[in-house]
Structure 1
Amino acid sequence: MSDLGLSGPQRAARWVSVALRHVVQLVGVVLGIAVVNFFLLRLAPGDAAQVIAGESGGASAAYLAALRQQFGLDQPLYVQFFKYLGHLAHLDLGYSFREGMPVAELIWHRVPATLLLMGAAVLLAALVGVMLGALAAWYAGRWVDVVISALSLLCFATPLFWTGLMLVVVFSVWLDWLPVGGMQTISSGLNGWAHVVDVIHHLILPAVTLALFYVATYARLIRATIIEVRREDYVRTAIARGVRPWRLFRVHVLRNALIPFVTMLGMQIGSVIGGAVVVETVFSWPGLGRLAFDALVRRDLNVLLGILLCSSVLVVLVNWATDAVNRWLDPRIV
């Protein structure tokens, strides 16, 4: 049942019911993800003690045992799991023995960089993808459509790391227009707007690299959806009534074509986070993706568990926002 035809109190009660259902779903999702991630990572071969011993060139059995006791790795797996759940219930993500600080604090320091990269990439991909898809649909079957479709297929088929490396070669090595990596110029001492411009300067290549794949995906989706919507009866009725072409496209065609686009946008946030791991590694971007890669190499499982948990919560929250936007675009959606 949609919200159409409901009174004010009924609509409010319905929204409260939806919010409570979402909270219950969030708790279930977080618990399920915590269980799966914990056992997958703990059952993998190797641990932090072995990595530390390897970095030091070797270690005795007594030293390894002392390290495992210090990290709590000598306890049975179920004991470690229930301790982890107990800490999680108190919003404690554990302690990173490799970084020497709490996991929550470590993640908190890296979150802004990842959110900046993801936000810029998603915004760029959405704007360019919608414009290219709408343009291809408007000129369907003509050379503009053919060129956009070919470029979309090329971007869709190119791996992220290869795209990033080629952009670095062209714009950093050959043309020397943009920095190779990092988030800001080291020891620049910039403040205010100069610092903002410097960060944007470093953001361009990583954001474009991450966005190109999704530009191709969104352009193809918008093109197909607009062509399908233009064949609907209500669009033909609007044409017969003499609705102006731009108003017809903006109000009747594009608005309805955005519904599957918004749904896909929300569903792909998880893959955007995965892509951020590759992009942040290529460009030395100091975000959660780079932190996750380093934690995986160092077997810092507490950090990995914290990042996976926070990423999962972010995906769930974005999907809630997607549902809300879809209801705004079409109130008939339950």
Structure 2
Amino acid sequence: MQQRSHWLIAVIIRTALQVVPTFIGILAIMFLILKAIPGDAVDVLAGESGGASAASMALMREQYGLNLPAWQQFLNWSGQLVQGNLGYSLRFNTPVTTLILSRLPATLLLMIAAQCVALIMGVLFGVIMALFVGRWPDRLLSLVSLLLYSLPGFWIGSMLLVLFSVHLGWLPSGGNMTIGADLQGWAFFRDLIAHALLPVFALASFFLAIYARLTRAAMLEIAHQDFVRTAVAKGLSPLRVTLVHVLRCALIPLVTVSGMHIATLLSGAAVVETVFAWPGLGRLALDAVMARDVNILLGILFFSSLMVLIANFLVDVIHAGLDPRIARR
């Protein structure tokens, strides 16, 4: 137990030493790139309002610190970040922290559900393909995986909308809840699930294909190891050998890859949220880009980096659970 606690502390320290410098560098590069784009939030607001005088625009830039050099703006933003303040959004006239926290649950729901669907179905497909290698279940699921891997998520989402929402009318076409319906209890969850089914599958489809192929390849490789042959020679049932010995070891590379895909999931969520009008961080980021709202973009980048950090830490913990030798290192 004490060894596990020392390992946990070592993982936290090692992760912090790796992530913090990278995190600061990403924020600085992102800030400079955004500042290099012509125009700012004041220009966008002036255009939307039909125009503004040069004096009023200069006054707004001075009020929000947009007239300062880029490096000084970044230092000011970093100082506010240390104090727990992500700044103010000119576009939405709201503190960035409040705005992001209001959209974060929808994105987390979409990402976690998509990752769970991709992992469960991907492992199931991979196990079936490995058990029936070279036969028709393997060929059929390999073809399905290839199609899901090749087709972009926004195209799959659009086709799902056309089929299940437009033609069949079984599922809603957008949003994350029925507007104006004051639902409670099971009715609320049923409505939420109905709205989430299509965007979750559209986001999970690409990762499902990767996990299925990875599980198949890992299981076929591990099935020929000496410890598996020993388990079979001891008379263990084929189901126990497959689940306890082969699949458990095959999950180690799968957990690593799934942890690396958290950032990709977030970027894919931006596209899926746009297709399905899902009110999450992805749509907020696209709106912030169009409005040149640097504070929102940096705030989203900050929260997404935290999610990647937490995901990498959980991957290390799960690795130690799957392979106790990792915790002894």
Normalising by structure 1, what TM-score? 0.94
Q: What is the aligned partner in structure 2 of residue 176 from structure 1?
A: 169
Paired amino acid for 1:129 = G
Q: Does 1:251 align with 2:240?
A: no
Q: What is the aligned partner in structure 2 of residue 263 from structure 1?
A: 256
How do residues 190-269 of structure 1 correspond to structure 2 at under 5 angstroms? 190-269=183-262
In the aligned structure 2, how far is the partner of 1:159 from the partner of 1:174?
Answer: 22
In the aligned structure 1, how far is the partner of 2:139 from the partner of 2:38?
Answer: 50
Unaligned regions of 5+ residues in structure 2, if any? none
In the aligned structure 1, how far is the partner of 2:216 from the partner of 2:269?
Answer: 26
Shift of 1:53: 1.9
In the aligned structure 2, how far is the partner of 1:10 from the partner of 1:99?
Answer: 50
Q: Does 1:294 align with 2:287?
A: yes
Q: What is the aligned partner in structure 1 of residue 142 from structure 2?
A: 149
Q: Does 1:306 align with 2:299?
A: yes
Q: Does 1:116 align with 2:116?
A: no
In the aligned structure 1, how far is the partner of 2:194 from the partner of 2:3?
Answer: 50
Cα 1:41–1:147 change in 2 (3 A) is: same
Paired amino acid for 1:99 = F
1:140-168 Cα offsets, whole Å, 9 max, x none, are 00111111111111110111111111000
In the aligned structure 2, how far is the partner of 1:306 from the partner of 1:267?
Answer: 21
Shift of 1:14: 3.6
Aligned to 2:265, which of 272, 283, 308? Answer: 272
Shift of 1:98: 1.4
Please say which of residues 188-197 and 63-72 is displaced more in the overlay: 63-72
Q: Secondary structure at the match of 1:91?
A: coil
Aligned to 2:152, which of 119, 135, 159? Answer: 159
In the aligned structure 2, how far is the partner of 1:153 from the partner of 1:26?
Answer: 34
Q: Percent identity?
A: 50
Q: What is the aligned partner in structure 2 of residue 135 from structure 1?
A: 128
Q: Does the CA-based 8 Å contact 2:12-2:313 persist in structure 1?
A: no
Q: What is the aligned partner in structure 2 of residue 5 from structure 1?
A: none
Q: Secondary structure at the match of 1:332?
A: helix
Normalising by structure 2, what TM-score? 0.96
Cα 1:261–1:11 change in 2 (3 A) is: closer
Aligned to 1:33, which of 13, 19, 26? Answer: 26
Aligned to 1:87, which of 61, 69, 80? Answer: 80
In the aligned structure 1, how far is the partner of 2:7 from the partner of 2:252?
Answer: 22
CA RMSD of aligned residues (A): 1.4
Unaligned regions of 5+ residues in structure 1, if any? 1-7
1:36-66 Cα offsets, whole Å, 9 max, x none, are 2222222222211111122223333323322
Q: Secondary structure at the match of 2:98?
A: helix
Please say which of residues 241-250 and 178-187 is displaced more in the overlay: 241-250
Shift of 1:209: 0.7
1:269-295 Cα offsets, whole Å, 9 max, x none, are 100000000001111111111111111
In the aligned structure 2, how far is the partner of 1:22 from the partner of 1:175?
Answer: 48
Shift of 1:107: 0.7
